[in-house]
Amino acid sequence: MELFYDPDFTGNGILNESESKHCINVLRHKEGDIITVANGKGQYFKCRIINPHHKKCELEKIEVQNHDKPSFGLHLAVAPTKNIDRFEWMVEKAMELGVTEITPLLCQHSERKKLRIDRVERIIVAAMKQSLKAYMPVINDLTPFDQFMTQHASAHTYIAHCYDSDKQPLKNAYSEATDAILCIGPEGDFAEQEVAQAVQNGCQPVSLGNSRLRTETAGVIACHTIHLINE
């Protein structure tokens, strides 16, 4: 199934310009064709094209499909990698695995200190359409680690790091059908001070296995672990 995305679409009316162009100019849809539009808020609109304009494609609603919200929230807080392609690959895979919120972290060892959120959003939209998801994740701005801890530290916040200390495997620390915030550090790992701050604020230190992982690999494995437990 082809899926189009328009957060403002309500069932009848005009598809946004970028999706109109893709629908008419790229996919060559014509008047009378049936397409499906997601609003990223849990609704699919099955529609008929009544005016195949390449900038303002007009649609007529046939039916609405309502999708339940996920039974748990999956928030990935991760330091962007120096190689932006690796970060974007991870974001794409996290979307496919059901992430509901993404926060790029600015840490003491971060090599990337700037990030184009609009580019990340485009990656997420493409992944949402490809994987036929009904909900669009929340994408936050690049956030300093200290600020993030002030806002999100809790017993459901899991910080993965490579230091020798008491920590559980994520698969043991996490409980099915509960919200999870997964914190993944930069290529040089979180600073020891950051790990200590997280633990002091009630976060759970966790391991993702015995192998030393790249940031993007750790992000995918953490999301996949939560995904599998909830299957």
Helices (H), 51-164: 84-96, 117-130, 145-152
pTM listed for this prediction: 0.94
| CA 130, chain centre distance (Å) | 13
Instruction: Identify the pLDDT of residue 158.
Output: 98
> What is the mean pLDDT of the segment spanning 54-74?
96
| Mean pLDDT computed over 21-39 | 98
- pLDDT tens digits, 69-81: 988 999 999 999 9
User: Domain span at residue 87?
Assistant: 74-229
Last residue of a domain, one of 12, 38, 66: 66
The answer to whether the beta carbons of residues 101 and 180 sit under 8 Å apart is no
Q: Are residues 196 and 144 in the same domain?
A: yes
Q: Are residues 115 and 23 in the same domain?
A: no
- Whether 31 and 89 share a structural domain: no
Helix (H) / strand (E) element for 137: namely none
118 in the same domain as 34: no
Whether residues 155 and 95 share a domain: the answer is yes
- Please check whether residues 122 and 220 belong to one and the same domain: yes
pLDDT digits (tens, 9 = 90+) for 93-112: 999 999 999 999 999 999 99
Strands in 13-14's sheet, in edge-to-edge order, are 3-5, 34-38, 43-51, 58-66, 13-14
- Same domain, residue pair 94 and 201: yes
- 149: Cβ contacts below 8 Å, ≥ 6 apart: 197, 198, 201, 203
Domain count for the chain, please give it.
Answer: 2
**What is the rounded CA–CA span in Å between residue 71 and residue 92?**
21
Chain segment 8-17, per-residue pLDDT in tens: 999 999 999 9
Q: SS3 of 53, please?
A: coil
pLDDT digits (tens, 9 = 90+) for 115-125: 999 999 999 99
Q: What is the dihedral of CA 219, 158, 127, 19, to 10 degrees?
A: -140
The residues facing 159 across adjacent strands are 183, 205
Domain at 26, CATH number: 2.40.240.20
What is the DSSP code (8-state) at residue 229? H
Question: 105 and 201: one domain?
Answer: yes
Closest by alpha carbon to 210, among 220, 199, 221? 221
